[in-house]
Structure 1
Amino acid sequence: MKIKNPVLRGFNPDPSILRVGDMYYIANSTFEWFPGVRLHSSKDLVHWKMLPSILDSKELIDMTGDPSSGGVWAPDLSYADGKFWLVFSDVKTVNGPFKDCINYLTTANNIEGPWSKPIKLDATGFDASLFHDTDGKKYLVQQTWDQREYKNTFNGITLTEFDPLSQRLLPQTRKVIYRGTDVKVLEGPHVYKINGYYYLFAAQGGTGWSHQEIVARSKSLVLGTFITEPDGPFITNFDTPDFELQKQGHGSLVNTLDGEWYYASLCSRPWHHKNESAWDPRGWCTLGRETSIQKVEWDSDGWPRVVGGHGGLISVPGPHADKKYLTSKPNNSRHDEFLSSKLDNDWQTLRQPFTKKLGYIKNKKLVLKGNQSLSSLFDVSLLASRWQAFNFDATTKIKYEPYSYQQMAGLVNFYNDKHYSWVFITYNEVTKHRVIEVAQNNNNIYTSFLKDNAVEIPNEIKEVWLKTCIRKDYYYYMYSFDGKDWNRISIDLDAAILSDDYVMQTSGGFFTGAMVGLASVDCTGFELPAEFDYFDYKELDENLL
């Protein structure tokens, strides 16, 4: 069997891969999206099944007020002493000289929980991982942040012993063990003990086009000097601009029961406008940072090398596979009629759990209370899931009776609080009618496209169908009053505005990916609800468009 990259499509960055027995697990960053830490399982590295996210309550993670692209960074999943260990960062400051973050540890006997109340470890830097040495000692390995303006902010990899009995770090053991190369921006460290060496895998170069993973090793973890792998880096696409996968780097290593080795990495797949160079700019990654898996072999000097070269492969030889474990669908199309009071695993909310504060499911309908705007960092009634394909349609049916222009509900394409668009129902106080409007927030420049020409909804129409059509480099919205005859709203929007690469031009927080979902806003404060009948996400074959 072949591994087809990316294995986890759409916003699934910073993979921490782990094997326990014959089962593999991948944990991914979720940033400001709740629940925290996206989790998948597989028996063959080819087919992946989504599991419930780990940080699924406010007791486990409280992201109230976290900035966009803050929140849960780089979870590290490990297994030792008969239980699962998860280390994660909750980042409270993204932009500016400081990177306020708290590193936590939680454990569970079962991968699906219950997970223990997180223990605060430290705030030295983000991307922390826990290494369980063969002598029973445990160490926190992490990026180290330096706020001083005359220093590089990425100040090496720090090692600190963790005492499992007292459940705390031992600050007196802290030391910097590796400072990387001149590429700098050293982060995402993981340590492995293999054939008498301690191997340190770490990312460099930032999470853009120059992103890479390097490897260093030492005979001693605490007392030794880490030597960087010759003829590196281990993986990068900096010098492979024409390859479909880009930005490979930050990730982790796993071995199979048969002794084979694989590396799970973040990656991106850019597209270009027709008038743009394919090299500069290299493109726009609306699907965010995804997860790829590359096969690894060891050279005669004991260094790991990516099969096919450091740029990696799209189609990778897979390990021995149990063909009965075919859990993934050919694509990620889904249809939700809200038959259960519990949301399925695809849905995420912003910074807080889906409770009655935001909405509820009743009589097979999703009811979203009107809350703060989509630009808020607090109470936002937005239920969203990932763009996982370059071409798809998403549709919903909504019942909504606004009586103020400050009341809005509809279908949203969202990157963060400064970059989103939506088609929504609102109220025109002049004509005294409900209307359909399309608006976009582009780096906090908000534009209402239809204005006085907003589509008037006849009084006898109680429910309205809304649709968004994503076509790689652009997208548009449609509406229907019967669910059969559709009307295209003649506004084509540039999909690049919802990409990592566009957002990074003005912000230090560009780490997520485009999402599509349902929202209800009531700036009057009276919490007018909107009722959604279903949500349909249908991926399309680009060759048939």
Structure 2
Amino acid sequence: MPKLTNPILPGFNPDPSILRVGEDYYIATSTFEWYPGVQIHHSRDLANWELVTRPLTRKSQLDMRGDPDSCGIWAPCLSYADGLFWLIYTDVKRKDGSFKDAHNYLVTAPSIEGPWSDPIYMNSSGFDPSLFHDDDGKKWFVNMLWDHRVRPLLFAGIALQEYDHKAQKLVGPVKNIYKGTDLKLVEGPHLYKRNGKDGRPWYYLMTAEGGTGYDHAITFARSRSIDGPYETHPEKYVVTAKDSPLNKLQRAGHGDWVETPDGKTYIVHLTGRPTTQKRRCVLGRETAIQEAEWRDDDWLWLKHGTNVPALEVEVPGTRDEAKYWAERRYAFDSALDKDFQWLRTPETERIFRVGNGKLRLFGRESIGSWFEQALVARRQTHFSFDAETSVDFAATDERTMAGLVAYYGRYNFFYLAVTAHADGQRELLIMSSEASFPDGRLQFPAAPVTIPNEGKIKLALTIRGPRLQFFYGLEGEALQPIGPVLDASILSDECGGHAEHGSFTGAFVGMAAHDLNGTASPADFDYFLYRPQHDPSDRYD
């Protein structure tokens, strides 16, 4: 079989849940504060993946206004039973401190494209839920338990409870079935059932441990009974890079497994690819794949002989590398391209409109707002790339701005904005929130550049590994650089404004408009260009 180089879903695509229905594979990943919620990719060969839907698209399903950075949609679980697709997800309203307001929901659909139902509320006792369909017809809900009394780590184990779909609620007792290992922070549970060599069934439990940083791991356990007791895998961790700091795939954990029609087994897991001497994962937490095998001891092991994730893996298909490296030029003729997302709000009519060859953004709250801001962007999926757009914006003062943004979150972004001085003269201004946690104060890496009060402005940036350079051009003129070379590596989990295990998303690049006067001043963007680049300094190209 051909070899594929990991990851299979590059850029911000963490916490994969994989499912096979016939010849079709689906992976659901977390989207956190980005709207619509949950990404579902499709493949028929495990090598080529296409984003087919984001199922949480309306206010009745999801409203994340007020959710802090790296809250929102955590660790979805996708399954198929009874002629339906079932999607379990968490909407986290708070994550810092002793309490987590983590609300778990279920939606269903007759096809992967939908229509997806309104949500059924499940519980709020912990996050990372999943749903297991047993062959006797019973359905079981599992999630990690959060206990604010436990010190210092607050993770109390994996909870199991029956779900009655007719009554649309959880029923019966809650049982803590697994406390994890000495690595701690047990979460991300997935339940399975599989016959052993003797023909008797085992219940298998795959969990994540060690947090989301460089100690992350996948733990595996099994029991003859669904409610335990569960014994841990002889190796404890079936996938981890925690003891292999030079491995190119780091932060490996939180996974799921699937069997192919011909009986092969693969594990998908999140991973990060650190760059620079500061080990920053600019592309966020990505999805990788490993081939595994069932041995005579009825345990699952990685096929290549260690639990350290491999960079190259044999899969049935061959990836279309030309498509991966292709330039994307986005027009705004009708609907927004599916590559784009926005932040938190389901009320899209208040922040953008698409049509007649333009994306119109209505300036709302400030950049970094957790409620309503007009910022539309796509994932950074390459270590080096170019981005470009053209904006027509009648800035009136320093509280109105619109332009090109490289964004991770409130505490790490770069913004080249068309704005104006207090006297109404338009100017270009670079704003950054580099290393400004906890106060979030802006920095201004260069003096503003005066521009004409009328006319479109072309804005661009290049990222080459850790180096970001902005450019601008007046109508009919060539692009020219503006400001200094900036540190693009701050657009990473490691600089997200929280300690390790606290920031979970990835870098985006896109368009934004803000109006602190409250007048929703419009900014019109003609196109958006994303051009991947090979750079000799990149470790992975």
> Under TM normalisation by the shorter chain, which class is it?
over 0.9
- The question of whether the paired residues in 1 share the 8 Å contact of 2:59 and 2:347 is answered with no
Tell me, in whole angstroms, the C-alpha distance in 1 between the residues paired with 2:448 and 2:497.
Answer: 33
User: Residues 28-77 of structure 1: CA distance to partner in whole angstroms, max 9, x if unpaired?
Assistant: 00000000001100000001111121111111111111111111000000
Deviation track 1:331-376 (CA, whole Å, cap 9, x = no partner) reads 3641111122x11111101001362211212321111011100121
Q: Structure 1: how far apart are the matches of 2:5 and 2:158?
A: 32
Shift of 1:502: 2.0
- Greater Cα shift, 484-493 or 369-378: 484-493
1:400-479 correspondence runs (5 A) = 400-430=393-423, 432-441=424-433, 442-443=436-437, 444-450=440-446, 453-459=447-453, 462-479=455-472
List alignment gaps of at least 5 residues for structure 1: none
Q: For 1:7-22, list aligned pairs within 5 A.
A: 7-22=8-23
Amino acid at match of 2:298: G
Secondary structure at the counterpart of residue 193 of structure 1: strand
**Contact 1:48–1:327, Cα closer than 8 Å, also in 2:** no
Alpha-carbon separation, structure 2, partners of 1:260 and 1:498: 37
Q: Does structure 2 conserve the Cα–Cα contact (< 8 Å) formed by 1:91 and 1:99?
A: yes
User: Which one-letter code corresponds to 1:404 in the other structure?
Assistant: D
Q: Which residue of 2 aligns with 1:360?
A: 353
| 1:76–1:328 Cα change, 3 Å | farther
- Cα offset, 1:449, TM superposition: 2.6
Per-residue CA shift, 1:484-517, capped at 9, x if unaligned?
A: 5221123222123211012265486400011111
SS of the residue 1:496 aligns to:
helix
- DSSP-derived class of the 1:249 partner: strand
Partner Cα separation in structure 2 for residue 15 and residue 26 of structure 1: 6
- CA displacement 1:309-332 (0-9 Å, x = unmatched): 21121221113x4x7x96982336
2:386 alignment counterpart? 393
2:251 is the alignment partner of 1:247:
yes
TM-score by structure 2 length? Answer: 0.94
* CA distance in 2: counterparts of 1:333 and 1:190, whole angstroms: 37
Q: Does 1:208 align with 2:217?
A: no
User: Are the aligned partners of 1:131 and 1:191 in contact in 2 as well (CA < 8 Å)?
Assistant: yes
Q: Deviations over 1:154-187 (max 9, x none)?
A: 10000001112111101x3210000011110000
Instruction: State the aligned residue count.
Output: 527
Please give the alpha-carbon distance, in whole angstroms, between the structure 2 residues aligned to 1:164 and 1:297: 34
Write out aligned runs for 1:18-417 (5 A). 18-148=19-149, 150=151, 152-170=153-171, 172-195=172-195, 196-222=201-227, 224-272=228-276, 276=277, 281=278, 283-308=279-304, 309-319=306-316, 321=317, 329-331=323-325, 333-340=327-334, 342-353=335-346, 355-417=348-410
Structure 2 unaligned blocks of 5 or more? 196-200
Inter-partner Cα distance in structure 2 for 1:498 and 1:299: 42
Q: 1:327 and 1:449, CA in 2 relative to 1: closer, same or farther beyond 3 A?
A: closer
CA contact (8 A) 1:2 1:46 kept: no
Q: Which structure features the higher share of strand residues?
A: 2
Taking structure 1 as the reference length, what is the TM-score of the superposition? 0.94
How far apart are 1:15 and its partner, in Å?
0.4
Work out the percentage of aligned pairs sharing the same amino acid: 43
Q: Which of 494, 498, 522 is the aligned partner of 2:491?
A: 498
- For the residue of structure 1 that corresponds to 2:416, the secondary structure is strand
